[in-house]
């Protein structure tokens, strides 16, 4: 079964049908402050909107962004309209929503509930938003087996350690997994079936790779923030060579949800581990893995057209000039990090309710098989390749033949080999 997340379809349609009126009449300045307070948009998003020239263009940018900000965005927008004395616009979109809901109810009365639009987008609040179309399940329903990690040889370590981060401590580092599966009943965030499979798979993988693992289940946004802060300040980071953080939850671009429906901003999580805030991990590799939606658009995919692949163009380098000498070595505020994302900006991540998410399944498989002789960036390319080749199977739904594409970003400065199983002098 597949899962995606986002604003209800009837709410998206209500915004779409009133788009021109909203673009002309919205007064954004104060309203956006309310939307930041409600954890729907970030200050950076407000700056991006305000960078547009003229109120109409700013309103259009805001309306483009709003449907991608999760299941709470519509109700928060309506509340912000009331708080900024724009009730006439709230009344307009609520009337449209009501008409759309009544239209669906009439169709269901006449023809039954077997309608040609996906149940996961239903605007009936009493029905689960995430009724999941079936994907072929290749296992017995108990989830995927945890693949054993293959160890690197002493010869490989000696041949590659001179270009790599030092990674020989025991344990290799500390790892934190924050896994949210059960969400507050009053929030429009459904149970993440298969999320426990992801959590168990990652916990076993990290342990087999030599990490000391801490797992926190079903936390509010503030509890997640507190857990990350405590973890980043652990004095034990001083004695190990790396660290891992994995966040598994519902999400939107730039944030993941706590079980209370509030957002933890990813930039705040990264900030806790930068060179200024986490000196015990300076010059040490820090790995982040984010299994969460970054929007609600399902990637439909496109048919491949035969032809040569694009080739990389050569770049140019510019040498540093006038370097000051004999000063204390300085570091950029954020470096030595690599972050893997389950999906691209604006798109939904897919999860099989029995086998776990596509991304975590690929990640555990590749890392178990290839970490013995492949550095992390190249392994994440292999993960990308596996995700690219995967396709949803759910005939008659929007998820049939759907695609997903993972990605990673990196400020690593050396090769990051995990050297599983290798301990100097043993």
Among all residues, which ones are annotated catalytic? 250, 293
> 235 by DSSP, 3-state: which?
helix
Length of the chain: 426
Query: Smallest Cα–Cα separation from 362: which of 226, 203, 201?
Result: 201
Query: Smallest Cα–Cα separation from 44: which of 341, 331, 254, 292?
Result: 254
- Integer angstrom CA distances of residue 425 from 147, 153, 154, 168: 27, 13, 10, 11
The torsion angles phi and psi of 244, rounded to 5 degrees, stand at: -130, 140
Query: Smallest Cα–Cα separation from 252: which of 189, 192, 295, 188?
Result: 295
Q: Which two tokens stand for residue 250?
A: 């519902």
Do 196 and 352 contact (CB within 8 A), yes or no?
Answer: no
- Measure the CA–CA gap between 64 and 68, rounded to whole angstroms: 8
Q: What order do you get walking across the sheet with 211-217 strand by strand? A: 211-217, 173-179, 242-248, 286-291, 337-341, 407-410
Q: Which ranges of 341-375 would DSSP assign to H, the alpha helix?
A: 358-370
Q: What order do you get walking across the sheet with 251-252 strand by strand? A: 251-252, 255-257, 263-265
- Measure the CA–CA gap between 325 and 417, rounded to whole angstroms: 32
Do 123 and 100 contact (CB within 8 A), yes or no?
Answer: yes
DSSP string, 368-409: HHHTTTS-HHHHHHHHHHHHHH-----TTSTTTT-B---EEE
Quote the strand ranges of 236-302, DSSP E. 242-248, 251-252, 255-257, 263-265, 286-291
DSSP conformation class of 32? H
| Cis peptide preceding 171, ω within 30 of 0 | yes
């Amino acid at each position: 079964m597949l899962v995606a997340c986002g604003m209800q379809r009837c709410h998206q349609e209500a915004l779409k049908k009133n788009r021109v009126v909203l673009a002309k009449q919205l007064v954004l300045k104060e309203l956006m402050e309310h939307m930041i307070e409600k954890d729907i948009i970030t200050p950076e998003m407000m700056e991006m909107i305000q960078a547009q020239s003229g109120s109409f263009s700013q309103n259009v940018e805001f309306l483009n962004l709003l449907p991608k900000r999760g299941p709470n965005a519509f109700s928060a927008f309506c509340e912000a309209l009331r708080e900024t004395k724009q009730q006439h616009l709230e009344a307009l979109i609520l009337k449209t929503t009501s008409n759309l809901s009544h239209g669906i109810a009439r169709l269901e009365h006449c023809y039954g509930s077997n309608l040609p639009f996906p149940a996961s987008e239903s605007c009936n609040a009493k029905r689960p938003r995430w009724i999941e179309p079936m994907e072929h399940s290749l296992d017995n329903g108990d989830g995927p087996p945890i693949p054993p990690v293959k160890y690197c040889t002493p010869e490989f370590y000696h041949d590659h350690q001179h270009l790599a981060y030092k990674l020989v401590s025991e344990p290799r580092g500390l790892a934190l997994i924050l896994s949210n599966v059960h969400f507050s009943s009053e929030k429009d965030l459904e149970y993440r079936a298969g999320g426990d499979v992801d959590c168990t798979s990652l916990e076993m993988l990290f342990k087999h790779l030599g990490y000391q693992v801490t797992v926190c289940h079903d936390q509010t946004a503030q509890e997640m923030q507190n857990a990350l802060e405590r973890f980043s300040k652990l004095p034990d980071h001083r004695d190990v060579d790396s660290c891992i953080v994995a966040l598994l939850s519902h999400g939107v671009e730039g944030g993941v949800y706590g079980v209370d429906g509030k957002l933890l901003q990813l930039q705040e999580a990264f900030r806790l581990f930068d060179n200024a805030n986490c000196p015990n991990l300076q010059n040490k590799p820090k790995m982040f893995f984010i299994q969460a939606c970054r929007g609600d658009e399902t990637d439909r995919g496109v048919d491949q057209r035969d032809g040569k692949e694009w080739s990389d163009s050569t770049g140019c380098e510019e040498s540093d000039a006038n370097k000051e000498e004999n000063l204390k070595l300085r570091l950029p505020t954020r470096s030595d990090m690599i972050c893997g994302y389950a999906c691209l900006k604006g798109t939904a991540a897919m999860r099989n309710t029995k086998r776990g998410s596509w991304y975590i399944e690929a990640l555990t498989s590749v890392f178990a098989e290839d970490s013995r002789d492949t550095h992390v960036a190249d392994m994440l390319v292999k993960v990308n390749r596996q995700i690219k080749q995967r396709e949803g199977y759910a005939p008659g739904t929007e998820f049939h033949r759907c695609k997903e594409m993972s990605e990673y970003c990196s400020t690593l400065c050396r090769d990051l080999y995990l050297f599983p199983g290798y301990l100097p002098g043993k």
